[in-house]
Amino acid sequence: MAEGFELPKRAMAIFAHPDDAEFGCSATVALFASLGVHVTYCLLTSGNKGTHDPKMAPDELERIREKEQRDAGRILGVREFVFLRHGDGELEVSMDMRADVCLAIRKNKPDLVFTQDPWRPYQIHPDHRVAGWSAMDGVIAARDHLFFTEQLHRGLKHHRVPRVLLFGTAEPNIWFDVGSTLDKKIAALKAHVSQIRNPGVLDRMQNAARTTGQAWGLEAAEGFRLLELG
Ligand SMILES: [Zn+2]
């Protein structure tokens, strides 16, 4: 655990594709879950274009990848899954997307959000940029009652998320000791059977976590940019 870091009660990871969270933050997700944090995954797409198989139909791939995501999440201790099912590779920063993310936050009431760092330099995947922006914009919209007022009925209230952990960041400012959960990260990555065609990537992820940990005298670590929103 990062020293002095107060665990949230509820956390939500908001990201573009099935497997993004496994690559970016899953050892920490597993650590939080093992300590009693209720974790929800919110996926903007179900990765329905992530294949090189010319015979694979997008709706079939969506079904396969949602199952893989649930399997991976279960290994980590993720309790809930929200699939927004926007088109893979077609994400745009829009008010509709912001409203979708805002609604997911208001329903799930996380007190910490994990998402992809939209400020990361040279992030070439448009979906990864959009996921980060949409998560941040959704966090801001969710907290005030005059944003998306049509959502605030039948008991649903505005909701303030005080902290965000950006993953895939070039400028980490907090590191979590994941020596006890690195194995779960690798097992969760393996659950994405349709995507992990080259097992070398598993070794690279393991080595990266160990190298990050070495700087802090830890067996393994994951680094994030922590934003405290007050
Ligand atoms: Zn992705």
pLDDT 10s digits, 137-150? 999 999 999 999 99
CA 51–ligand 1 middle distance (angstroms): 13
CA 73–ligand 1 middle distance (angstroms): 16
Q: What pLDDT was estimated at residue 43?
A: 98
CA 55–ligand 1 middle distance (angstroms): 22
CA 52–ligand 1 middle distance (angstroms): 15
Mean pLDDT of 80-100: 97
CA 188–ligand 1 middle distance (angstroms): 15
CA 20–ligand 1 middle distance (angstroms): 5
**Nearby residues of 24 by Cβ (< 8 Å), 6 or more positions away:** 15, 114, 116, 167, 168
User: In the structure, what pLDDT confidence band is assigned to residue 199 with cuts at 50, 70 and 90?
Assistant: confident
pTM of the model: 0.96
* DSSP secondary structure string for all residues of 108-177: H--SEEEEE-TT-TT---HHHHHHHHHHHHHHHHHTSTTSSGGG--TT-------EEEEES-SS--EEEE
Mean pLDDT of 58-84: 97
Average pLDDT, the chain: 96
| Lowest-confidence pick of 53-57, 94-98, 167-171 | 53-57
CA 150–ligand 1 middle distance (angstroms): 31
Task: Look at residues 27, 64, 16, 13 and name the one whose alpha carbon lies nearest to residue 176.
Answer: 27
User: In the structure, what pLDDT confidence band is assigned to residue 177 with cuts at 50, 70 and 90?
Assistant: very high
pLDDT at 82 over 90: yes
Domains of the chain: 10-228 (3.40.50.10320)
Mean pLDDT of 13-39: 98
User: In the structure, what pLDDT confidence band is assigned to residue 51 with cuts at 50, 70 and 90?
Assistant: confident
Name the DSSP class of 214. H
Q: What pLDDT was estimated at residue 6?
A: 96
Q: What pLDDT was estimated at residue 230?
A: 75
CA 123–ligand 1 middle distance (angstroms): 11
Task: Look at residues 210, 208, 201, 190 and name the one whose alpha carbon lies nearest to residue 76.
Answer: 190
Q: What pLDDT was estimated at residue 1?
A: 65
User: In the structure, what pLDDT confidence band is assigned to residue 3 with cuts at 50, 70 and 90?
Assistant: confident
Q: What pLDDT was estimated at residue 35?
A: 97
pLDDT at 227 over 70: yes
CA 50–ligand 1 middle distance (angstroms): 9
CA 47–ligand 1 middle distance (angstroms): 8
CA 220–ligand 1 middle distance (angstroms): 23
**Nearby residues of 152 by Cβ (< 8 Å), 6 or more positions away:** 106, 145, 158
